[in-house]
Structure 1
Amino acid sequence: MSNTEGYESPMEPIIHQQQTPIQNRNQSVDRTTNKRPRSYRSPSFQQQTDKNGKTDFVLQYMTLRTTNLKIIFPPIIVKFKGDQQASIKDITDNLISKWKNQHGIDLTIAARFGHLHSLLVFADDSSSFESFLDSRRWPRFLKDVDIEVKVLRQLPPEYSLIIHQFNRNWNEDEWLVELQQRYVSLYKITRVRVKDGSTLNAVIADFNTIEEVRTLIKLGKINVGSMTHPVKPCHLPIRINKCLKCLRHDHTTKSCSRPRLCPRCAEEHSLEHGCPNHERCT
């Protein structure tokens, strides 16, 4: 889910008949000696093993436990079509009052002004956040000024899970229609892919209610047609900022006040004629 108006989640997904479950290749092996036994494998077998190992790593990386972490909800962006002179407190109180009167929901929110005097509304709990997702619930006016609500393009990763053993030949759109009859808050299914573009036998399922996701994760399975498939929580890769000036990771390039270092050798010298030093890991 730059300026705050174009807010997107900091986490972007990797992406872009029944199969055998992916085996865990990190199982412990009982040995009677400290010497590693020699294994003889054909090149084709080794290549397949490496590919499966890579698949296991991708899926394990995306299914780290996040149930104990507080969900960080992206802000809902509200644009005013006229000149809004009211204070943040007055606008927030007006929104809370209208939501309570029209929908019977007590909002737990905070707000501040963003780019071009738009209003950024931050939900503090899942019930407030999920009630915001239905654009039909929003009032036409806040403090007598007409508003326009910007729809979120992506929900937090806690609203998604990974369905394993989802055949590579299955059409995600066709299965989405069938699954929505049983799981009403499911709204999207996306095939998991690795960097080379090849597909995995797993999909990311996106929901708009956190309770349905938590229920399925607690069960550890989901019904796909007449079959039962294992599910895991989804945790998308974290983007790590790296300063391109001093090559550190605790700040951005724009805010850096340190001397510029060579990206090849990590030393401070002129880059006009290239780098004569040996390459170093930066």
Structure 2
Amino acid sequence: MQRPVTDRPGLQKHGLVDALVPTVTRKNVSNKNHQDSMEIVHKTAFPPYSITLKNSQHNEQRTDRKLVEHLILEWKNKNGFELDITGRFGHEKRILIFANNETTFEELFDQHKPSWNINEVQDELKITYPPLIKLTIMHSFINKPLNLVRADFCSLEQVKKLMDTGRISIGHMKNTLKQYHPPAKISKCMKCFSHHHNTKECSSQVQLCVRCGLNHPFNNNCQNEIKCVNCSQDHYVGHLACPEVRQIGQNQKIKRTHLLINQEQDQHLCYVFNKQTFPPFPSSPIQQQNHEDF
């Protein structure tokens, strides 16, 4: 049996044993190492966050444990969430923060403040992909930044190559991409709520209710069941779940796809001069005389 850790020479002499390591046997050491290894694997399941410390004497005197404790306390006071993190000093006055679970990792990840500068990425991508025009961060309907970026190119051939690979390289990282379809703009008549003409072109003599689709005195207190006038389902007119709205949106996507195909064909179209196809203009008498002189 292996000697207890406390029997190792040099530790008891300085009085560090009780503060550093407990007295354990070989069996306990094996179990402890297994638990520690599992804990380390768990703690490193997420990439660390790097925090650059200000050059102050107060920060230099504090240990990484104290800084982590201060971060946990400040975060809880300001955001009402207690972080489960582990931290240690890194390179050049940086402290690495490791999230111990997925909830903490997502809490630290602020989607409203991207960790990269879109202008810097755009300049870098223009070197690799010269046809790139610009990058645009996408936003939701409530103007919240999404984890999506739209890339506009001036070359359909470049877009086709990227779509075939399904990846775009940004530095040493390869990001997944997919074709962008702008939201379908489906108009409707505000009188009969048809999607096939506008209000000025409507020939209906009555104003239908947007809630129930019936003809009754207009007011905002209609208590009838919600019913779409176009598909008779239980949703308001123009809802994205409406089969007619979805069909119109699908038709618009097909038209845009055909338009892109035609534009790509026009870019590669080569004109061959043919005298039969493009006959010369009839010459004037003066031009004929000059031609005979030569």
TM range (shorter): 0.3 to 0.5
- What TM-score does the superposition give when structure 1 sets the normalisation length? 0.38
- What TM-score does the superposition give when structure 2 sets the normalisation length? 0.37
Larger RCO (CA within 8 A; separation ≥ 6): 1
Q: Which has the higher strand share?
A: 1
Q: Which has the higher helix share?
A: 2
